Amino acid sequence: MIDRFFLHISTLIRPSDKVLLAVSGGIDSVVMLHLFKQTSYNVSIAHCNFQLRGKDADEDENFVKQLALHYDIPFYSVRFDTQGYAEKCGISIQMAARELRYDWFHSLMREIQYDCIATAHQRDDVLETFFINMLRKTGIKGLCGIKEKNEHIIRPILRFSRQEIIAYADQFGLAYREDKSNEDDYYRRNYIRHHILPKLKQMQANYDDVLHETIEILQQQEAIYSQHIKEVEAEMMTENDAVYTIDIQKLKQLNNLTTYLYEFISPFGFNRTQTENIVDILDNESGKMFYSSAYCLLKDRNSIQIKSIEKQAAFIVIEDRFANNKMQEYRLLLERLPYCQGFEIEDRTEVAYFDADKIEFPLLVRKWKEGDVFFPFGMKGSKKLSDFFIDNKMSLFEKQEIDLLCNGNGDILWVIGKRSDNRYRLTTSSKTALKITHY
């Protein structure tokens, strides 16, 4: 098994790669750790305590810490409020644990500059995952099982069965932790392991070899399928300033458009049910929003737009009124200039001019909200920002990107990049101009 591991790991990573090992303390990860210690790879241990099993989870964490001390390798651990995260996000405990651990693994990998993360999935996990995904309507991609390498994640013991791993642990006298929850048939994976797979073995002794061959065929077919999807997606989807846009009219020309759309948007975290709901409103309901854990999807008039979810917060610009100031963080350049006859005003949307004597500091830069009103430059009266956006045919995403520069008294000075406020314009009586450039 050690020889097979040496041969296999050389196809996944380079000898110089630094590897972060995800070690739970169970038999699979303990065996993976022992196998790596037979090599010359630079490794560290990462352990997640999901705080779901009380004292047992804490004892797992301490056990893995002692393993790291025994092998004299770096150890990193983290504790998650998995239950709270699942409730907050409206997802299952299993999904919450998956999101939390992989987010942490990737951030840790970047922080300590490791090249890849190794998880201890083994051959039997592939079959269990096959049946789990079959019941989730995941399509051909889900039936392809677990990849041995997926970007920075490697599964170096994926070719070894559970029986081989048990035999290896016994041969070397390796201690490991038993997760009692693995015996609970409440979890779908455990039920498949304890009841479905044994029944298949009764039907056909070599069922596992046949299923693995089937999965290999599916993987080859999926590669062809994915290449076609990429080619069609290139015709359907464009990207500009981190906003991905799908042309609805082009989309509607496709046969099986629900399947195509799902393939286009599933990488952003949207599921099949959401895809079906989007298809149902393609001809109506402009402005409908859908959310995944990290992205927001807008069904606009003629397009579907996707962008990452960002926390929008107000922020203060504190500025010395007697000096010019370049607000690097907010990309604003403030300049005071004498205002007199012959003063030249640049005709650019990213530049605005104001009567400096009417400006009160500190200034506030914030996002717009319902009920906001300003006096558009060139107009005598006021206008709701929502009406201003409609007049300018701005999509919901474009509205969300707009920043407002507000006077110290709360008045909107400038819809940045769009229109300044008429009340603070330069007049014949103005003495000093405040020029603000958004760069």
Q: Which two tokens stand for residue 361?
A: 């500091």
Query: Are the C-beta atoms of residues 261 and 275 closer than 8 Å to each other?
Result: yes
Find the DSSP H helices in 257-365: 257-265, 272-280
| CA 168 and chain centroid, separation | 37
* pLDDT level of residue 265 (50, 70, 90 thresholds): very high
- The one-character DSSP state at 330 is G
pTM of the model: 0.63
- Model confidence pLDDT, tens digit, residues 153-179: 999 999 999 999 999 999 999 999 998
Task: Give the residue-averaged pLDDT of 372-383.
Answer: 92
Q: Which two tokens stand for residue 164?
A: 């081989």
Answer whether residue 22 shows pLDDT above 80. yes
| CB-count exposure of residue 127 (10 Å: 0-12, 13-18, 19+) | buried
Answer whether residue 330 shows pLDDT above 80. no
- Of the candidates 112, 32, 30, 105, which has an alpha carbon nearest to the alpha carbon of residue 64? 30
Element spanning 225, H or E: helix 207-236
Q: Could you give the count of Cα atoms lying within 13 Å of 118 in the half-sphere of its Cβ?
A: 29
Portion of the chain with pLDDT greater than 90, in percent: 64
Task: Give the residue-averaged pLDDT of 114-125.
Answer: 95
Per-residue pLDDT, 410: 84
* pLDDT level of residue 229 (50, 70, 90 thresholds): very high
* pLDDT level of residue 316 (50, 70, 90 thresholds): low
- Of the candidates 216, 44, 225, which has an alpha carbon nearest to the alpha carbon of residue 147? 216
Tell me the helices (H) and strands (E) count for the chain, helix number first: 16, 22
d(CA 92, CA 81): 13
Per-residue pLDDT, 207: 94
Mean pLDDT of the residues in the chain: 89
Answer whether residue 58 shows pLDDT above 90. yes
Per-residue pLDDT, 323: 46
Per-residue pLDDT, 273: 85
* pLDDT level of residue 319 (50, 70, 90 thresholds): low
- Model confidence pLDDT, tens digit, residues 76-113: 999 999 998 888 777 788 888 998 999 999 889 888 89
Per-residue pLDDT, 313: 46
For residue 393, what are the CA distances in angstroms to 42, 389, 419? 56, 6, 14
Per-residue pLDDT, 94: 85
Task: Give the residue-averaged pLDDT of 244-253.
Answer: 95
* pLDDT level of residue 15 (50, 70, 90 thresholds): very high
Per-residue pLDDT, 284: 83
Degrees, nearest 5: CA angle 378-381-383: 95
Per-residue pLDDT, 322: 44
Answer whether residue 125 shows pLDDT above 50. yes
Q: Which domains does the chain have, with CATH numbers?
A: 2-214 (3.40.50.620), 241-308 (no CATH), 315-438 (3.50.40.10)
Answer whether residue 317 shows pLDDT above 60. no
Give me the torsion for CA of 78, 81, 87, 91, rounded to 10°.
Answer: 20
